[in-house]
Copies of this chain bind each other. A is one copy, B any other.
Amino acid sequence: MKNALPVTRAENFADWYQAVVGEADLAEESGVRGCMIIRPWGYGIWQRMQELLDRRFRETGHENCYFPLFIPLSFIAKEAEHVEGFAKEMAVVTHHRLKMIDGVLQPDPDAKLEEPLIVRPTSETVIGAAFQRWIRSHRDLPLLLNQWANVVRWEMRPRLFLRTAEFLWQEGHTAHATAEEAREETLRMLEIYRSFAEDALAMPVVAGEKPPHERFPGAESTYSIEAMMQDGKALQAGTAHYLGTNFARAQSIRYQTEQGDLAYAQTTSWGVSTRLVGGVVMTHGDDDGLRLPPIIAPRQIILVPILRDRPEDSSVLEYCDSLAAELGASSALGEPIRVLADRKPGRSVEKRWGWIKRGVPIICEIGARDVAAGSVTLIRRDRARQGEKIDFTSLARGEFVQRAPALLAEVQSALQAEARERLRAGIRSDLTTLAAVEAYFNESDDSESFRGWAQVPWARPEGAALDSVERQLKALKLTVRVAPLEQAPLPGERCLFTGAPAREWILIGRAY
């Protein structure tokens, strides 16, 4: 069987990923180390994600704002004092002018900054400084902010969307009067991420808490949603941190309580990034390219006219245009249908494969015969292939228009069901000894023998015991993903690592 991509998932998952990202016009290398160009189709997916998340953030009372790209070194230095294991791979701005010296354009030595500026890797420090100015009284709380921004973290081994030096994200930052409210906020945003991933991206995830050694530096608790990619690896797809008063103490974020005392605010932060686009690729892609859940597809239906350089071409184009107008006037999944009649020059068979690779949920081909018969020939991208052949369906035009919303909803559900089943089947909970875990993950040295995750009992070891667990896992290239919020019963289990009575189940696996 020949596929639209030069490499299959089974042959080499990493190369396959790269091929989908390229062939679906999602993104490409820019020539600037670690920085990608997000192409219109990839950006369209990200913009859909933004729209849907932004609506949820607003509905829960958050307001958008914008903080500076640059952070003074002194802000970062202050944080470094407080945070052990503070990451230092950042882009540093040291000059503010270029100058032609001896015919070579270079940083002007006379324009060296007194204090270097850091390109924000995240904005806790600069937003904390504003919180300190803005928060005076309990009446100023809760303060619920979000920002859509680009951030930079130097990466030695960049991969498009998954790990890039510059990426796009949203970062929520909130301040509250009580620990209870701040914890509620953290879990509320985690739940927004979970339901967004599951409903909009059709990417089921496990929401849970990270063990202490995987926490965001300075956080009291770190939660994440973890998605299982088709190679069985985990993708951390969103995080939410309850920061307690740790950041408030470091930055003097205090407020006057109703009783007139001064108290430290309780803060949270949470974010998702363009990494989600990579998650969608590795969740739904097949060997012909991307498959997009209709809710986030920039275009849900494409109409490809089959033109023959003959007089009937104009009636084919008219038919496409009027069909597009009719579809665009109706709604699917709660929004107007996003449809495009692809009138660009080019052969229709090439266009068909282009849209298959881009993952458009429904691709229609309209020829003179369809016009004569008043019909529509369509491909459902989620089940485009029956072996070698494309699976075409023909419907009367009126029936297609009427059924289009249901068809799109079916594609959304089908992709979700498939991914759900993969997640369910990919979690082993019968590995009761470390030896069994080791045997399972090392069964084959072939990195393409996909392994999912193991759910194992855990006693929440701390200190030296935790360090030892970390070492054991590292040797197997495994990490603790999360302790799921939804816990299975745990009758009398013992911790897989320490033998102490277990306190919860955790998921371990390989990860991106």
> Which A residues form the contact surface with B (CB < 8 A)?
30-32, 35-40, 43-44, 46-47, 63-73, 76-77, 80, 88-100, 104-108, 116-119, 126, 129-130, 139, 145, 149-150, 152, 154, 166, 168, 344-346
- Across the two chains, which residue of chain B brings its CB closest to A147? B43
**B105 & A96 in contact (Cβ 8 Å cutoff):** no
* Interface pair A68/B119, CB less than 8 Å apart: no
Q: Are B100 and A91 in contact (CB under 8 A)?
A: no
Residues of chain B within 8 A (CB-CB) of A38 are 65-66
Instruction: Collect the chain B residues with CB atoms within 8 Å of residue A105's CB.
Output: 73, 76-77, 80
Residues A96 and B106 in contact in the complex (CB < 8 Å), given A68-B36, A344-B139: no
Kindly list chain B residues whose C-beta atoms are within 8 Å of the C-beta of A97.
88-90, 92, 154
Tell me whether A69 and B152 are in contact in the complex, defined as CB-CB below 8 angstroms, given that A31-B129, A117-B32, A119-B93 are known contacts. Answer: yes
Q: Which residue of B lies closest to A107 (CB)?
A: B92
Residues of chain B contacted by A119 (CB below 8 angstroms): 69, 93, 119
Looking across the interface, which residue of chain B has its beta carbon closest to that of A68? B35
Q: Which residues of B contact A145 (CB under 8 A)?
A: 40
Distance between A159 CB and nearest chain B CB, rounded to angstroms = 16
Residues of B within 8 A of A92 (CB): 93-98, 107
A93 touches B96 (CB 8 A): no
Residue in contact with A64 in the complex, picked from B47, B72, B88, B150, CB distance below 8 Å: B47
Report the 8 A-B pairs with minimum CB-CB distance, sorted nearest first: A35-B68, A40-B63, A38-B66, A92-B95, A77-B105, A96-B154, A88-B98, A30-B68
Residues A99 and B88 in contact in the complex (CB < 8 Å), given A32-B72, A35-B68: yes
Q: Verify B66–A37 contact, CB threshold 8 A.
A: yes
- Indicate if the CB atoms of B44 and A63 lie closer than 8 Å: yes
